[in-house]
Chains A and B, each alone.
Chain A
Amino acid sequence: MIRFEHVTKRFGDKLVLDDVSCEIQAGETFVIVGLSGAGKSVSIRHMVRLLTPEQGRVWVGDDCISEATGRPLERILARFGVLFQGAALLQWLNVEDNVCLPLRQKTRLPDAEIRQRAADMLRLVGLEGVGDRMPADISGGMRKRVGLARAIVTQPEIILYDEPTSGLDPMISRQIDLLIDDLRRRLGVTSVVVTHDLYSALQIGSRVAMLHEGRFVVCAPPEEFIASPHPVVRNFLRAQGIVTLQDVHQAFAK
Protein backbone atom coordinates (compact mmCIF):
# COMPACT_ATOMS: atom_id res chain seq x y z
CA MET A 1 0.00 0.00 0.00
CA ILE A 2 2.76 2.43 0.98
CA ARG A 3 6.23 1.74 -0.32
CA PHE A 4 9.48 3.48 0.51
CA GLU A 5 12.05 3.01 -2.24
CA HIS A 6 15.59 3.87 -1.17
CA VAL A 7 14.42 7.02 0.61
CA THR A 8 17.18 9.28 1.88
CA LYS A 9 16.44 12.50 3.71
CA ARG A 10 18.86 15.04 5.09
CA PHE A 11 18.27 18.35 6.86
CA GLY A 12 21.38 20.39 6.20
CA ASP A 13 24.10 17.89 6.98
CA LYS A 14 21.96 15.91 9.41
CA LEU A 15 21.05 12.56 7.91
CA VAL A 16 17.60 11.52 9.17
CA LEU A 17 16.53 8.74 6.78
CA ASP A 18 19.35 6.70 5.26
CA ASP A 19 18.35 4.67 2.21
CA VAL A 20 15.13 3.33 3.75
CA SER A 21 13.16 0.74 1.78
CA CYS A 22 10.08 -0.96 3.10
CA GLU A 23 6.54 -1.79 2.11
CA ILE A 24 3.44 -1.43 4.22
CA GLN A 25 0.75 -3.92 3.18
CA ALA A 26 -2.88 -3.01 2.69
CA GLY A 27 -4.89 -3.71 5.82
CA GLU A 28 -1.99 -4.04 8.21
CA THR A 29 -1.11 -1.94 11.23
CA PHE A 30 2.49 -0.93 10.84
CA VAL A 31 4.04 0.45 13.99
CA ILE A 32 7.18 2.57 13.98
CA VAL A 33 9.04 2.82 17.27
CA GLY A 34 12.26 4.59 18.07
CA LEU A 35 13.92 7.13 20.31
CA SER A 36 12.90 10.77 20.25
CA GLY A 37 14.40 12.50 17.26
CA ALA A 38 14.99 9.24 15.41
CA GLY A 39 12.95 10.52 12.46
CA LYS A 40 9.61 8.81 13.07
CA SER A 41 7.60 11.93 12.32
CA VAL A 42 9.82 12.63 9.35
CA SER A 43 9.06 9.22 7.87
CA ILE A 44 5.31 9.72 8.35
CA ARG A 45 5.48 13.18 6.79
CA HIS A 46 7.00 11.64 3.66
CA MET A 47 3.88 9.53 3.20
CA VAL A 48 1.67 12.59 2.77
CA ARG A 49 4.25 14.68 0.96
CA LEU A 50 4.78 17.22 3.69
CA LEU A 51 8.37 16.28 3.03
CA THR A 52 9.94 14.99 -0.15
CA PRO A 53 12.85 12.59 -0.23
CA GLU A 54 16.24 13.80 -1.30
CA GLN A 55 16.75 10.49 -3.07
CA GLY A 56 14.35 7.68 -3.70
CA ARG A 57 10.57 7.61 -3.99
CA VAL A 58 7.48 7.07 -1.90
CA TRP A 59 4.60 5.14 -3.46
CA VAL A 60 1.00 5.00 -2.33
CA GLY A 61 -0.66 2.12 -4.17
CA ASP A 62 0.31 2.67 -7.78
CA ASP A 63 0.90 6.40 -7.41
CA CYS A 64 4.23 7.99 -6.67
CA ILE A 65 3.21 10.59 -4.10
CA SER A 66 6.69 12.07 -3.81
CA GLU A 67 6.48 13.25 -7.42
CA ALA A 68 2.76 13.95 -7.83
CA THR A 69 1.38 17.50 -8.00
CA GLY A 70 -1.96 19.23 -8.44
CA ARG A 71 -5.10 17.14 -8.83
CA PRO A 72 -3.45 13.71 -8.78
CA LEU A 73 -1.76 14.66 -5.50
CA GLU A 74 -5.10 15.78 -4.07
CA ARG A 75 -6.64 12.49 -5.09
CA ILE A 76 -3.89 10.52 -3.35
CA LEU A 77 -4.16 12.68 -0.22
CA ALA A 78 -7.91 12.10 -0.08
CA ARG A 79 -7.14 8.48 0.80
CA PHE A 80 -5.37 9.53 4.00
CA GLY A 81 -6.42 10.56 7.46
CA VAL A 82 -3.65 12.00 9.59
CA LEU A 83 -3.44 12.54 13.34
CA PHE A 84 -0.65 15.03 13.95
CA GLN A 85 1.61 14.88 16.96
CA GLY A 86 0.16 18.10 18.39
CA ALA A 87 -3.37 17.37 17.10
CA ALA A 88 -3.23 20.54 14.91
CA LEU A 89 -6.79 21.67 15.63
CA LEU A 90 -7.88 25.07 14.40
CA GLN A 91 -7.96 27.25 17.49
CA TRP A 92 -10.90 29.46 16.55
CA LEU A 93 -13.29 26.60 15.84
CA ASN A 94 -14.92 24.61 18.60
CA VAL A 95 -14.46 20.87 18.88
CA GLU A 96 -17.48 19.98 16.82
CA ASP A 97 -16.64 22.41 14.00
CA ASN A 98 -13.10 21.07 13.93
CA VAL A 99 -14.37 17.54 13.38
CA CYS A 100 -16.90 18.76 10.81
CA LEU A 101 -14.29 20.78 8.91
CA PRO A 102 -13.11 18.14 6.40
CA LEU A 103 -16.68 17.18 5.52
CA ARG A 104 -17.91 20.77 5.29
CA GLN A 105 -14.99 21.76 3.10
CA LYS A 106 -14.71 18.69 0.90
CA THR A 107 -18.22 17.30 0.55
CA ARG A 108 -21.71 18.55 -0.18
CA LEU A 109 -23.45 16.55 2.51
CA PRO A 110 -26.32 18.30 4.31
CA ASP A 111 -25.21 19.96 7.51
CA ALA A 112 -27.41 17.80 9.73
CA GLU A 113 -25.71 14.66 8.45
CA ILE A 114 -22.26 16.17 8.87
CA ARG A 115 -23.01 17.03 12.48
CA GLN A 116 -24.41 13.58 13.05
CA ARG A 117 -21.25 11.98 11.74
CA ALA A 118 -19.08 14.28 13.81
CA ALA A 119 -21.07 13.36 16.90
CA ASP A 120 -20.62 9.66 16.08
CA MET A 121 -16.87 10.12 15.76
CA LEU A 122 -16.65 12.04 19.02
CA ARG A 123 -18.56 9.25 20.75
CA LEU A 124 -16.16 6.73 19.23
CA VAL A 125 -13.16 8.49 20.81
CA GLY A 126 -14.97 8.87 24.11
CA LEU A 127 -15.70 12.57 23.92
CA GLU A 128 -19.45 12.88 23.97
CA GLY A 129 -20.83 16.26 24.91
CA VAL A 130 -17.70 18.36 24.55
CA GLY A 131 -18.64 19.54 21.06
CA ASP A 132 -19.00 23.18 21.99
CA ARG A 133 -15.75 23.52 23.96
CA MET A 134 -12.83 25.35 22.37
CA PRO A 135 -9.54 23.52 21.74
CA ALA A 136 -7.74 25.85 24.15
CA ASP A 137 -10.11 24.86 26.96
CA ILE A 138 -9.59 21.08 26.86
CA SER A 139 -6.66 18.96 27.95
CA GLY A 140 -3.91 17.83 25.60
CA GLY A 141 -5.19 14.27 25.66
CA MET A 142 -8.68 15.39 24.71
CA ARG A 143 -7.30 17.53 21.90
CA LYS A 144 -5.50 14.52 20.56
CA ARG A 145 -8.70 12.50 20.55
CA VAL A 146 -10.49 15.32 18.74
CA GLY A 147 -7.67 15.22 16.19
CA LEU A 148 -8.25 11.50 15.85
CA ALA A 149 -11.98 12.04 15.34
CA ARG A 150 -11.20 14.58 12.64
CA ALA A 151 -8.78 12.19 10.95
CA ILE A 152 -11.31 9.36 10.70
CA VAL A 153 -14.47 11.34 9.98
CA THR A 154 -13.86 11.16 6.23
CA GLN A 155 -13.52 7.36 6.45
CA PRO A 156 -10.04 7.22 4.88
CA GLU A 157 -8.43 3.96 3.74
CA ILE A 158 -5.08 4.83 5.27
CA ILE A 159 -4.67 6.43 8.68
CA LEU A 160 -1.40 7.81 10.00
CA TYR A 161 -1.11 8.27 13.73
CA ASP A 162 1.76 10.33 15.10
CA GLU A 163 2.02 9.37 18.77
CA PRO A 164 -1.70 8.87 19.32
CA THR A 165 -1.31 7.91 22.96
CA SER A 166 1.60 9.95 24.28
CA GLY A 167 0.44 12.24 27.04
CA LEU A 168 -2.71 10.24 27.67
CA ASP A 169 -3.40 8.32 30.83
CA PRO A 170 -3.09 4.51 30.55
CA MET A 171 -6.84 3.91 30.53
CA ILE A 172 -7.48 6.22 27.61
CA SER A 173 -4.36 4.96 25.84
CA ARG A 174 -5.68 1.41 25.88
CA GLN A 175 -9.01 2.68 24.65
CA ILE A 176 -7.32 4.39 21.70
CA ASP A 177 -5.30 1.26 20.96
CA LEU A 178 -8.49 -0.76 20.86
CA LEU A 179 -10.05 1.84 18.58
CA ILE A 180 -7.13 1.62 16.14
CA ASP A 181 -7.37 -2.14 16.15
CA ASP A 182 -11.12 -1.97 15.72
CA LEU A 183 -10.85 0.31 12.67
CA ARG A 184 -8.52 -2.18 11.05
CA ARG A 185 -10.73 -5.15 11.83
CA ARG A 186 -14.05 -3.63 10.84
CA LEU A 187 -13.14 -1.34 7.97
CA GLY A 188 -9.89 -2.88 6.82
CA VAL A 189 -8.02 0.41 7.04
CA THR A 190 -4.27 0.46 6.71
CA SER A 191 -2.67 2.16 9.70
CA VAL A 192 0.77 3.51 10.36
CA VAL A 193 1.32 4.24 14.03
CA VAL A 194 4.27 6.07 15.52
CA THR A 195 4.68 5.47 19.21
CA HIS A 196 7.04 5.32 22.16
CA ASP A 197 4.81 2.86 23.91
CA LEU A 198 6.01 -0.68 23.21
CA TYR A 199 3.00 -2.15 24.97
CA SER A 200 0.62 -0.70 22.43
CA ALA A 201 3.08 -1.31 19.59
CA LEU A 202 3.26 -5.02 20.32
CA GLN A 203 -0.43 -5.30 21.02
CA ILE A 204 -1.87 -3.64 17.92
CA GLY A 205 0.96 -3.94 15.40
CA SER A 206 0.92 -6.54 12.68
CA ARG A 207 4.52 -5.52 12.20
CA VAL A 208 6.76 -3.40 14.39
CA ALA A 209 9.69 -1.48 12.96
CA MET A 210 12.48 0.02 14.99
CA LEU A 211 13.87 3.23 13.51
CA HIS A 212 17.44 3.84 14.56
CA GLU A 213 20.10 6.03 12.95
CA GLY A 214 18.06 6.49 9.82
CA ARG A 215 17.22 2.85 9.18
CA PHE A 216 14.61 0.31 10.16
CA VAL A 217 17.05 -1.90 12.05
CA VAL A 218 14.36 -4.46 12.83
CA CYS A 219 11.03 -4.79 11.08
CA ALA A 220 9.07 -7.84 12.13
CA PRO A 221 5.80 -9.17 13.57
CA PRO A 222 5.52 -8.69 17.35
CA GLU A 223 6.62 -12.20 18.32
CA GLU A 224 9.78 -11.94 16.19
CA PHE A 225 10.39 -8.35 17.28
CA ILE A 226 10.34 -9.29 20.93
CA ALA A 227 12.85 -12.06 20.28
CA SER A 228 15.18 -9.88 18.25
CA PRO A 229 18.77 -9.95 19.45
CA HIS A 230 19.46 -6.43 18.15
CA PRO A 231 20.99 -4.42 21.03
CA VAL A 232 18.87 -1.31 20.44
CA VAL A 233 15.69 -3.35 20.51
CA ARG A 234 16.81 -5.23 23.62
CA ASN A 235 17.52 -1.93 25.41
CA PHE A 236 14.17 -0.55 24.38
CA LEU A 237 12.33 -3.63 25.57
CA ARG A 238 14.23 -3.74 28.83
CA ALA A 239 13.54 -0.06 29.50
CA GLN A 240 9.81 -0.75 29.38
CA GLY A 241 10.06 -4.01 31.34
CA ILE A 242 8.86 -6.30 28.58
CA VAL A 243 10.26 -9.82 28.36
CA THR A 244 7.53 -11.82 26.65
CA LEU A 245 4.36 -11.09 24.71
CA GLN A 246 2.47 -12.39 27.73
CA ASP A 247 3.54 -9.28 29.64
CA VAL A 248 1.92 -7.18 26.95
CA HIS A 249 -1.32 -9.11 26.79
CA GLN A 250 -1.57 -9.07 30.56
CA ALA A 251 -1.21 -5.31 30.61
CA PHE A 252 -4.11 -5.12 28.18
CA ALA A 253 -6.26 -7.60 29.99
CA LYS A 254 -6.22 -5.38 33.09
Chain B
Amino acid sequence: MITREQQYYDPPVNAVAALGRGVIAACQGTGQALLMLLGALAYVPQAFTPRNRANVVTQLYTMGIKSLGVVTVVGLFTGMILAVQMGLGLELVKQERYVSTLVCNGILREMSPFMTGLILAASVGSAIAAQLGTMTVSEEIAALDVMGVSPLRYLMMPRLVGLVVMAPLLTIYMDVLGLLGGAIVAATMLGVAPETYYDGLFEFTYNKDFYVGLVKAVVFALIIVSVSCYQGFRTQEGAVGVGRATRRSVIVSFLLILTLGYFVTRLWYS
Protein backbone atom coordinates (compact mmCIF):
# COMPACT_ATOMS: atom_id res chain seq x y z
CA MET B 1 0.00 0.00 0.00
CA ILE B 2 1.18 3.45 -0.92
CA THR B 3 -0.98 5.22 1.60
CA ARG B 4 1.22 6.17 4.49
CA GLU B 5 0.62 7.81 7.78
CA GLN B 6 2.20 11.07 8.65
CA GLN B 7 5.09 10.64 11.07
CA TYR B 8 5.11 12.72 14.19
CA TYR B 9 8.30 13.77 15.97
CA ASP B 10 9.04 16.04 18.87
CA PRO B 11 10.23 19.45 17.71
CA PRO B 12 14.04 19.57 17.32
CA VAL B 13 15.83 20.97 20.36
CA ASN B 14 18.33 23.17 18.47
CA ALA B 15 19.67 24.14 15.07
CA VAL B 16 22.01 21.16 14.81
CA ALA B 17 19.21 18.75 15.60
CA ALA B 18 17.00 20.48 13.02
CA LEU B 19 19.72 20.12 10.39
CA GLY B 20 20.23 16.48 11.27
CA ARG B 21 16.54 15.82 11.02
CA GLY B 22 16.44 17.52 7.62
CA VAL B 23 19.23 15.28 6.37
CA ILE B 24 17.52 12.16 7.67
CA ALA B 25 14.21 13.20 6.12
CA ALA B 26 15.93 13.82 2.78
CA CYS B 27 17.55 10.36 2.89
CA GLN B 28 14.25 8.71 3.81
CA GLY B 29 12.51 10.56 0.99
CA THR B 30 15.14 9.51 -1.53
CA GLY B 31 14.90 5.93 -0.38
CA GLN B 32 11.12 5.87 -0.58
CA ALA B 33 11.13 7.50 -4.03
CA LEU B 34 13.63 4.89 -5.26
CA LEU B 35 11.54 2.07 -3.81
CA MET B 36 8.49 3.43 -5.63
CA LEU B 37 10.53 3.59 -8.83
CA LEU B 38 11.62 -0.03 -8.43
CA GLY B 39 8.05 -1.04 -7.66
CA ALA B 40 6.78 0.65 -10.81
CA LEU B 41 9.65 -0.78 -12.90
CA ALA B 42 8.61 -4.25 -11.80
CA TYR B 43 5.22 -3.67 -13.45
CA VAL B 44 6.67 -2.47 -16.77
CA PRO B 45 6.56 -5.95 -18.39
CA GLN B 46 2.78 -5.82 -17.94
CA ALA B 47 2.52 -2.46 -19.70
CA PHE B 48 0.52 -3.78 -22.64
CA THR B 49 -1.71 -6.30 -20.90
CA PRO B 50 -5.42 -5.53 -21.33
CA ARG B 51 -5.89 -3.92 -17.94
CA ASN B 52 -2.97 -1.50 -18.37
CA ARG B 53 -2.91 -0.82 -22.08
CA ALA B 54 -5.35 2.08 -22.14
CA ASN B 55 -3.55 3.95 -19.36
CA VAL B 56 -0.13 3.49 -20.94
CA VAL B 57 -1.30 4.64 -24.37
CA THR B 58 -2.98 7.71 -22.87
CA GLN B 59 0.22 8.69 -21.10
CA LEU B 60 2.36 8.15 -24.19
CA TYR B 61 0.00 10.35 -26.13
CA THR B 62 -0.32 13.18 -23.63
CA MET B 63 3.37 13.32 -22.82
CA GLY B 64 4.62 13.07 -26.38
CA ILE B 65 2.14 14.87 -28.57
CA LYS B 66 1.19 17.61 -26.15
CA SER B 67 4.84 18.57 -25.58
CA LEU B 68 5.65 18.85 -29.29
CA GLY B 69 4.77 22.53 -29.63
CA VAL B 70 6.95 23.87 -26.87
CA VAL B 71 9.78 21.46 -27.75
CA THR B 72 9.75 22.80 -31.31
CA VAL B 73 10.12 26.42 -30.27
CA VAL B 74 12.70 25.70 -27.59
CA GLY B 75 14.70 23.46 -29.95
CA LEU B 76 14.89 26.01 -32.74
CA PHE B 77 15.88 28.84 -30.46
CA THR B 78 18.41 26.81 -28.51
CA GLY B 79 20.16 26.03 -31.77
CA MET B 80 20.01 29.66 -32.85
CA ILE B 81 21.29 30.97 -29.54
CA LEU B 82 24.16 28.50 -29.52
CA ALA B 83 25.06 29.36 -33.12
CA VAL B 84 25.05 33.09 -32.36
CA GLN B 85 27.36 32.73 -29.38
CA MET B 86 29.68 30.22 -31.00
CA GLY B 87 29.66 32.25 -34.21
CA LEU B 88 30.66 35.44 -32.43
CA GLY B 89 33.58 33.63 -30.86
CA LEU B 90 34.62 31.89 -34.06
CA GLU B 91 34.50 35.14 -36.06
CA LEU B 92 37.29 36.45 -33.87
CA VAL B 93 39.58 33.64 -35.03
CA LYS B 94 38.13 33.49 -38.56
CA GLN B 95 36.91 29.94 -38.20
CA GLU B 96 33.18 30.44 -38.81
CA ARG B 97 32.94 27.30 -40.90
CA TYR B 98 33.30 25.19 -37.77
CA VAL B 99 30.17 26.66 -36.24
CA SER B 100 28.15 23.57 -37.13
CA THR B 101 30.63 21.29 -35.38
CA LEU B 102 30.35 23.20 -32.14
CA VAL B 103 26.60 23.58 -32.37
CA CYS B 104 26.19 19.90 -33.12
CA ASN B 105 28.28 18.78 -30.17
CA GLY B 106 26.61 21.20 -27.80
CA ILE B 107 23.11 20.26 -28.93
CA LEU B 108 23.49 16.50 -29.04
CA ARG B 109 25.41 16.00 -25.82
CA GLU B 110 23.99 18.67 -23.61
CA MET B 111 21.42 21.16 -24.69
CA SER B 112 18.65 19.07 -26.13
CA PRO B 113 18.45 16.45 -23.38
CA PHE B 114 18.79 19.20 -20.79
CA MET B 115 16.13 21.44 -22.32
CA THR B 116 13.81 18.50 -22.92
CA GLY B 117 14.29 17.48 -19.29
CA LEU B 118 13.46 20.95 -18.03
CA ILE B 119 10.38 21.20 -20.25
CA LEU B 120 9.12 17.80 -19.13
CA ALA B 121 9.82 18.54 -15.46
CA ALA B 122 7.93 21.81 -15.67
CA SER B 123 4.97 20.55 -17.68
CA VAL B 124 4.59 16.79 -17.23
CA GLY B 125 6.26 16.47 -13.82
CA SER B 126 4.25 19.25 -12.21
CA ALA B 127 1.05 17.84 -13.71
CA ILE B 128 1.81 14.39 -12.28
CA ALA B 129 2.51 15.80 -8.82
CA ALA B 130 -0.65 17.92 -8.88
CA GLN B 131 -2.88 15.13 -10.13
CA LEU B 132 -1.59 12.42 -7.81
CA GLY B 133 -1.52 14.92 -4.95
CA THR B 134 -5.17 15.79 -5.50
CA MET B 135 -6.01 12.10 -5.64
CA THR B 136 -4.13 11.50 -2.41
CA VAL B 137 -5.89 14.21 -0.43
CA SER B 138 -9.32 13.18 -1.74
CA GLU B 139 -8.69 9.57 -0.64
CA GLU B 140 -8.72 8.23 -4.20
CA ILE B 141 -5.31 6.65 -3.71
CA ALA B 142 -6.51 5.10 -0.45
CA ALA B 143 -9.55 3.76 -2.29
CA LEU B 144 -7.34 2.16 -4.95
CA ASP B 145 -5.15 0.65 -2.23
CA VAL B 146 -8.16 -0.85 -0.48
CA MET B 147 -9.56 -2.21 -3.76
CA GLY B 148 -6.24 -3.98 -4.22
CA VAL B 149 -5.42 -1.92 -7.32
CA SER B 150 -1.79 -0.98 -6.86
CA PRO B 151 -1.30 2.75 -7.50
CA LEU B 152 2.24 1.92 -8.60
CA ARG B 153 0.88 -0.25 -11.38
CA TYR B 154 -2.26 1.70 -12.21
CA LEU B 155 -0.86 5.23 -11.98
CA MET B 156 2.92 5.33 -11.78
CA MET B 157 3.92 2.65 -14.28
CA PRO B 158 2.06 4.23 -17.24
CA ARG B 159 3.70 7.57 -16.47
CA LEU B 160 7.06 5.89 -16.19
CA VAL B 161 6.66 4.19 -19.56
CA GLY B 162 5.34 7.40 -21.10
CA LEU B 163 8.27 9.49 -19.96
CA VAL B 164 11.01 6.95 -20.60
CA VAL B 165 9.78 6.42 -24.15
CA MET B 166 8.97 10.02 -24.95
CA ALA B 167 11.95 11.83 -23.41
CA PRO B 168 14.52 10.29 -25.83
CA LEU B 169 12.18 10.70 -28.80
CA LEU B 170 11.59 14.35 -27.97
CA THR B 171 15.34 14.76 -27.50
CA ILE B 172 16.01 13.43 -31.00
CA TYR B 173 13.35 15.73 -32.38
CA MET B 174 14.95 18.64 -30.58
CA ASP B 175 18.38 17.61 -31.92
CA VAL B 176 17.09 18.00 -35.45
CA LEU B 177 15.43 21.34 -34.77
CA GLY B 178 18.44 22.67 -32.91
CA LEU B 179 20.73 21.89 -35.83
CA LEU B 180 18.22 23.52 -38.14
CA GLY B 181 18.14 26.65 -35.97
CA GLY B 182 21.94 26.71 -36.07
CA ALA B 183 21.87 26.48 -39.85
CA ILE B 184 19.54 29.47 -40.08
CA VAL B 185 21.86 31.61 -37.98
CA ALA B 186 24.93 30.32 -39.82
CA ALA B 187 23.44 31.31 -43.17
CA THR B 188 21.95 34.66 -42.21
CA MET B 189 24.47 36.01 -39.71
CA LEU B 190 27.78 34.24 -40.28
CA GLY B 191 27.65 33.78 -44.03
CA VAL B 192 28.23 30.04 -43.80
CA ALA B 193 26.52 28.28 -46.71
CA PRO B 194 24.20 25.38 -45.86
CA GLU B 195 26.51 22.90 -47.64
CA THR B 196 29.49 24.02 -45.55
CA TYR B 197 27.32 23.88 -42.46
CA TYR B 198 26.24 20.36 -43.33
CA ASP B 199 29.78 19.19 -44.05
CA GLY B 200 31.00 20.51 -40.71
CA LEU B 201 28.17 18.89 -38.79
CA PHE B 202 29.49 15.40 -38.50
CA GLU B 203 33.15 16.08 -39.05
CA PHE B 204 34.01 15.80 -35.38
CA THR B 205 30.82 14.17 -34.16
CA TYR B 206 30.79 10.55 -33.08
CA ASN B 207 28.02 8.10 -32.28
CA LYS B 208 28.88 8.56 -28.64
CA ASP B 209 27.80 12.20 -28.74
CA PHE B 210 24.40 11.09 -29.89
CA TYR B 211 23.75 8.27 -27.47
CA VAL B 212 25.10 10.07 -24.42
CA GLY B 213 22.35 12.59 -25.05
CA LEU B 214 19.80 9.79 -25.14
CA VAL B 215 21.17 8.21 -21.96
CA LYS B 216 20.74 11.57 -20.30
CA ALA B 217 17.18 11.84 -21.56
CA VAL B 218 16.35 8.47 -20.01
CA VAL B 219 18.01 9.40 -16.71
CA PHE B 220 16.05 12.67 -16.64
CA ALA B 221 12.82 10.81 -17.34
CA LEU B 222 13.47 8.50 -14.38
CA ILE B 223 14.24 11.50 -12.18
CA ILE B 224 11.08 13.34 -13.16
CA VAL B 225 8.76 10.38 -12.74
CA SER B 226 10.14 9.29 -9.37
CA VAL B 227 10.28 12.79 -7.91
CA SER B 228 6.82 13.82 -9.06
CA CYS B 229 5.09 10.54 -8.17
CA TYR B 230 6.76 10.51 -4.77
CA GLN B 231 5.68 14.09 -4.09
CA GLY B 232 2.17 13.33 -5.28
CA PHE B 233 1.71 10.16 -3.25
CA ARG B 234 2.89 11.73 -0.01
CA THR B 235 0.85 14.91 -0.29
CA GLN B 236 -0.91 15.99 2.87
CA GLU B 237 -3.18 18.77 4.03
CA GLY B 238 -5.54 19.48 1.18
CA ALA B 239 -5.12 22.10 -1.53
CA VAL B 240 -2.18 23.76 0.20
CA GLY B 241 -0.38 20.44 0.23
CA VAL B 242 -1.04 19.92 -3.48
CA GLY B 243 0.54 23.30 -4.24
CA ARG B 244 3.54 22.42 -2.10
CA ALA B 245 3.95 19.01 -3.73
CA THR B 246 3.86 20.56 -7.20
CA ARG B 247 6.41 23.22 -6.37
CA ARG B 248 8.73 20.73 -4.69
CA SER B 249 8.55 18.27 -7.53
CA VAL B 250 9.59 20.93 -10.06
CA ILE B 251 12.41 22.30 -7.91
CA VAL B 252 13.83 18.91 -6.95
CA SER B 253 13.62 17.66 -10.55
CA PHE B 254 15.43 20.79 -11.82
CA LEU B 255 18.23 20.38 -9.31
CA LEU B 256 18.67 16.67 -9.99
CA ILE B 257 18.58 17.17 -13.77
CA LEU B 258 21.25 19.83 -13.52
CA THR B 259 23.57 17.92 -11.20
CA LEU B 260 23.11 14.36 -12.46
CA GLY B 261 23.38 15.63 -16.05
CA TYR B 262 26.83 16.94 -15.24
CA PHE B 263 27.90 13.61 -13.76
CA VAL B 264 26.58 11.63 -16.72
CA THR B 265 28.64 13.84 -19.02
CA ARG B 266 31.72 13.33 -16.88
CA LEU B 267 31.18 9.58 -16.96
CA TRP B 268 31.69 9.50 -20.73
CA TYR B 269 33.99 12.49 -21.27
CA SER B 270 36.68 12.67 -18.64
Do chains A and B interact in one complex? yes
Q: Which residues of A contact B (CB under 8 A)?
A: 10-12, 45, 48-52, 73-74, 77-78, 80, 82, 84-86, 88-91, 101-102, 104-106, 154
Q: A11-B8, A88-B139 are in contact. Are A49 and B149 (CB under 8 A)?
A: no
Using an 8 Å CB-CB cutoff, how does the interface string of B1-24 with A read, 1 for contact, 0 for none? 101011010000000000000000
Say yes or no for B38: interface residue by CB 8 A criterion: no
Within 8 A of A (CB), among B130-170: 135, 138-140, 142-143, 145-149, 154
Partner of A84, one of B6, B8, B143: B143
Say yes or no for B266: interface residue by CB 8 A criterion: no
Say yes or no for B94: interface residue by CB 8 A criterion: no
Q: Is the Cβ of B143 less than 8 Å from the Cβ of A82?
A: yes
Q: How far is the CB of A195 from chain B (nearest CB, A)?
A: 18
Interface centre among A90, A104, A154 (most CB of B within 10 A): A90
Q: Is the Cβ of B142 less than 8 Å from the Cβ of A78?
A: no
List 9 additional contacts besides A48-B146, A49-B1, A78-B148; criterion CB under 8 Å: A11-B8, A52-B5, A74-B148, A77-B146, A77-B148, A84-B139, A88-B138, A88-B143, A105-B147
Which A residues touch B149, using CB under 8 A? 101-102, 105-106
Q: Is the Cβ of A82 less than 8 Å from the Cβ of B140?
A: no
Q: Which residue of B lies closest to A11 (CB)?
A: B8
Q: Is the Cβ of A85 less than 8 Å from the Cβ of B139?
A: yes
Which B residues touch A12, using CB under 8 A? 8
Q: Is the Cβ of B5 less than 8 Å from the Cβ of A51?
A: yes
Q: Is the Cβ of A86 less than 8 Å from the Cβ of B139?
A: yes
Q: Is the Cβ of A86 less than 8 Å from the Cβ of B148?
A: no
A105–B6 alpha-carbon span in the complex (Å): 28
12 A/B residue pairs, CB under 8 Å, sorted by A: A10-B8, A49-B1, A50-B145, A51-B5, A52-B5, A77-B145, A78-B148, A80-B146, A86-B138, A88-B143, A102-B148, A154-B147
Smallest CB-CB A-B distances: 7 pairs: A88-B143, A88-B139, A12-B8, A105-B149, A88-B140, A84-B139, A102-B147
Q: How far is the CB of A66 from chain B (nearest CB, A)?
A: 12
Within 8 A of A (CB), among B108-147: 135, 138-140, 142-143, 145-147
A90–B155 alpha-carbon span in the complex (Å): 11
Q: Is the Cβ of B146 less than 8 Å from the Cβ of A106?
A: no
Interface centre among A48, A80, A84, A105 (most CB of B within 10 A): A105
Q: Is the Cβ of B51 less than 8 Å from the Cβ of A105?
A: yes
Q: A51-B5, A84-B139, A89-B140 are in contact. Are A101 and B147 (CB under 8 A)?
A: yes
A48–B1 alpha-carbon span in the complex (Å): 11
A238–B98 alpha-carbon span in the complex (Å): 90
Q: Which residue of B lies closest to A69 (CB)?
A: B1
Which A residues touch B148, using CB under 8 A? 74, 77-78, 102, 105-106
Which A residues touch B8, using CB under 8 A? 10-12
Q: How far is the CB of A75 from chain B (nearest CB, A)?
A: 9
A52–B146 alpha-carbon span in the complex (Å): 14
Which B residues touch A77, using CB under 8 A? 145-148
